[in-house]
């Protein structure tokens, strides 16, 4: 091999190595650009996907953008909104006082009413009134005005509509079931023009009843949260019944 051939081969190998190095450098730069582009795209996507509440004043304050109870103005141009001025709520970790477990117990708001007087059974055994008159029936009915409505109740401690009728009539020695429907079925229907105070108002669907007081009014125990009262009969879908003869 002569000198010229050796020099040519040496130059050729140098050129090849240079080309390979250039290719490797280009590949590294391309990879770097790809990574940068990916990170930038991810950031843009995250910004675009950020929900509007991400810039709500409450969230801004909670995130620490408002602190030390100072007024802070924050702008959120990417959402096309300007966050209102907020005031941070002071909070210091560990700033607490010991508390008894009883302080965390839920206390009932329902008032309990106690009644220790005569019950319906007591009056049935020894009636309070000896004669069934409109005046006596109105007296017994009016005495219970203000009694709280309690579903299933039948005493002055708490009473529902049929329990109210039951308790009033028990004072005359008249035993009644605790049911609007059953009370209606054991009585005689009377025309409105023949009705007298002390008769019973029965809703036609048997959902409610009360004690007729004359002039379109009746005493009744309305509904939960209410109390026994004298009120106008608020529907025309009712009829009147009578358990026993009423003297006037």
- 86: its two tokens: 């907020």
220 is catalytic: yes
Catalytic residue among 30, 178, 220, 239: 220
The per-residue pLDDT for 55 is 43
Topology, domain 120-242: endopeptidase fold (from Nostoc punctiforme) (3.90.1720)
- The answer to whether 170 and 123 have CB atoms below 8 angstroms apart is yes
The secondary structure of the chain, three-state, reads: CCHHHHHHHHHHHHHHHHHHHHHHHHHHHHHHHHHHHHHHHHHHHHHHHCCHHHHCHHHHHHCCCCCCCCEECCEEHHHCEECCCEECCCCCCCCCCCCCHHHHCCCCCCCCCCCCCCCHHHHHHCCCCCCCEHHHHHHHHHCCCCCEECCCCEECCEECHHHHHHHHHHCCCCCCCCCHHHHHHCCEEECHHHCCCCCEEEECCCCCEEEEEECCEEEECCCCCCECEEEECCCCCEEEEECCCCEC
The per-residue pLDDT for 112 is 45
Catalytic residue among 30, 161, 178, 239: 161
What are 121-124's contacts with CB under 8 Å, separation 24+? 121/170, 123/167, 123/170, 123/171, 123/173, 124/170, 124/173, 124/175
In order along its 248 residues, the chain shows pLDDT tens digits of 555 444 545 556 767 777 777 776 666 676 667 666 665 655 555 554 444 444 444 444 444 444 443 444 434 443 434 444 444 444 444 444 554 544 444 343 334 478 999 999 999 999 999 999 999 999 999 999 999 999 999 999 999 999 999 999 999 999 999 999 999 999 999 999 999 999 999 999 999 999 999 999 999 999 999 999 999 999 999 999 999 999 98
208 is catalytic: yes
- Number of Cβ within 10 Å of residue 137's Cβ equals 24
Whose CA is closest to 65, among 84, 49, 45, 38? Answer: 84
- 46: its two tokens: 């995250």
Domains of the chain by residue range:
3-87, 120-242
Burial 143-166 (b: 16+ CB within 10 A, else e): ebeebbbbeebbbbbbbbbbbbbb
Instruction: Measure the CA dihedral 25/31/33/36, to 10°.
Output: -140
The per-residue pLDDT for 78 is 38
The per-residue pLDDT for 76 is 41
- The answer to whether 147 and 228 have CB atoms below 8 angstroms apart is yes
Whose CA is closest to 184, among 168, 199, 167? Answer: 199
- 207: its two tokens: 């959902």
Catalytic residue among 30, 178, 208, 239: 208
The per-residue pLDDT for 64 is 43
161 is catalytic: yes
The per-residue pLDDT for 139 is 98
- 181: its two tokens: 């429907």
């Amino acid at each position: 091999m002569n000198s010229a051939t050796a020099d040519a081969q040496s130059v050729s190998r140098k050129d090849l190595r240079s080309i390979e190095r250039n290719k490797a450098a280009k590949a590294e730069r391309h990879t770097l650009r790809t990574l940068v582009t990916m990170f930038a795209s991810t950031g843009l996507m995250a910004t675009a996907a950020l929900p509007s509440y991400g810039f709500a004043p409450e969230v801004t304050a909670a995130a620490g953008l408002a602190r030390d109870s100072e007024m802070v103005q924050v702008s959120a141009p990417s959402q096309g909104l300007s966050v209102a001025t907020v005031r941070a709520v002071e909070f210091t970790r560990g700033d607490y006082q010991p508390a008894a477990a009883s302080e965390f117990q839920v206390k009932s708001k329902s008032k309990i009413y106690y009644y220790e007087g005569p019950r319906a059974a007591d009056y049935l055994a020894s009636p309070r009134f000896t004669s069934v008159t409109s005046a006596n029936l109105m007296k017994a009915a009016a005495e219970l005005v203000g009694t709280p409505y309690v579903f299933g109740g039948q005493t002055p401690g708490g009473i529902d509509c049929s329990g109210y009728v039951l308790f009033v009539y028990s004072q005359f020695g008249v035993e009644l079931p605790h049911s609007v429907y059953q009370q209606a079925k054991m009585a005689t229907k009377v025309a409105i023009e023949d009705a007298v105070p002390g008769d019973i108002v029965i809703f036609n669907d048997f959902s409610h009843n009360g004690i007729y007081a004359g002039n379109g009014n009746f005493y009744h125990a309305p509904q939960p949260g209410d109390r026994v009262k004298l009120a106008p009969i608020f529907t025309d879908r009712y009829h009147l019944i009578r358990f026993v003869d009423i003297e006037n």
